[in-house]
Amino acid sequence: MSGLAGIVAGETSISAAGGAHNLEYCGYSIYDLAEHCIFEEIAYLLLHKSLPNKTQLGEFCEELKSRRDLPVPLREVLERIPKTAHPMDVLRTGVSFLGNIELESETHDQYEITKRLLGAFPALLVYWWTHAHTGKKISCESDSETIAEHFLTLLHQQKSSDLHVKAMNVSLILYAEHEFNASTFTARTITSTLSDFYSAVCGAIGALRGPLHGGANEAAMELISRVDNVDDARDMVKGMLSRKELIMGFGHRVYTEADPRNRVIKEWSKRLCTEGGKPALYDVSETIENIMWEEKKLFPNLDFYSASTYHMMEVPTPLFTPIFVMSRITGWAAHIFEQRENNKLIRPSAIYTGPEKLDFIRLEDR
């Protein structure tokens, strides 16, 4: 199989990735959105197909803030999950459990569930992480105005700098949506069977968990952490390439010359590493980027510089991919909505390559 590369699987009005569009959400350039917006504006845009005015944004933010707390039964479930669990599995379990106690219905419809998950994801993740590693039960709410600030506040149990909050907002915006990627297509496939919203999101989380999709940022951080100077970085990467080892965080199925999101996150990585007193971390990352282009003509995707950006915000590496979920729930939801609007069962065909017309052998003769 070619992984369906180059195959058009449907139409969407949510985002355009690659080609002349570069990357746009509902017609807006990712560069404009990342520079001027907070993540909540992008969430509203993807869910409603238009940017909010000040009143609409204020109301939307208040709705999300009111949905941050976790019900006691869910907290009890999280407390039982061991610290050895993968955080993506924790999110998948949390969404599945919510689907049991907050069922999709006419009064708790797909829009309400989306707002609920947007509001609750930071606490769902950090409540488990803190309890599993310290035994403490933290509050699931904060006075933070945005999801980016709320997540960092819960994680560090103190107010983060404006710089870090802005960087997290930008990261959430860049990860929010990306057309028919593996997790989104999974969500649409599940939705096409007329399954419920929670099942589609659980499936999407499962697809995102893999290192060839969302998990690449964790692998990138592991790679960058092996060395502390550009000379060692150069030797390491060239050695890996000579041994034909896979280096994560480079290349993309949609883009051929560059990932437009990388231009934005790379600048934030440089800024945070410089102002955070770890310029060598950025230098190592850039050295790896240069060698990968010189040797393999592979460019960094969004995941590669997201690793050092998150690291400088003191986000534990195992939480990198779950941040992706906190953001991409907006894109997943938008695609679930769109699939439901004009639904047809997604059921592709396959070319059979196995044996044919074999003579049947009875059990006693096998």
pLDDT digits (tens, 9 = 90+) for 215-262: 788 889 999 999 999 999 999 999 999 999 988 888 777 777 888 999
Tokens of 122: 């930071």
Phi, psi of 251 (to 5 degrees): 80, 165
pLDDT digits (tens, 9 = 90+) for 86-100: 999 999 999 999 999
Average pLDDT over residues 168-193: 96
CATH level 3 topology of 15-211+318-341: Citrate Synthase; domain 1 (1.10.580)
Q: Looking at residue 208, what is its pLDDT?
A: 94
pLDDT digits (tens, 9 = 90+) for 255-301: 778 889 999 999 999 999 999 999 999 999 999 999 999 999 999 99
Structurally, at CATH architecture level, domain 216-312 sits in Orthogonal Bundle (1.10)
Sheet containing strand 28-29, edge to edge, reads 15-17, 23-25, 28-29
Q: Looking at residue 18, what is its pLDDT?
A: 75
* Annotation says 196 is catalytic: no
DSSP per-residue codes, 206-237: HHHTSTTTTTHHHHHHHHHTT-SSHHHHHHHH
The residue ranges of every structural domain in the chain are 15-211+318-341, 216-312
SS (H, E, C) 152-182: HHHHHCCCCCHHHHHHHHHHHHHHCCCCCCH
* Annotation says 213 is catalytic: yes
**252 burial level (CB within 10 Å; 0-12, 13-18, 19+):** buried
* Annotation says 311 is catalytic: no
Higher-pLDDT residue of 9 and 199 is 199
Active-site choice (131, 164, 178, 252) = 252
Read off the pLDDT band of 2 (50, 70, 90). Answer: low
CA 171 to CA 37: how far, in whole Å?
A: 12
Active-site choice (150, 303, 311, 335) = 303
Active-site choice (48, 156, 213, 283) = 213
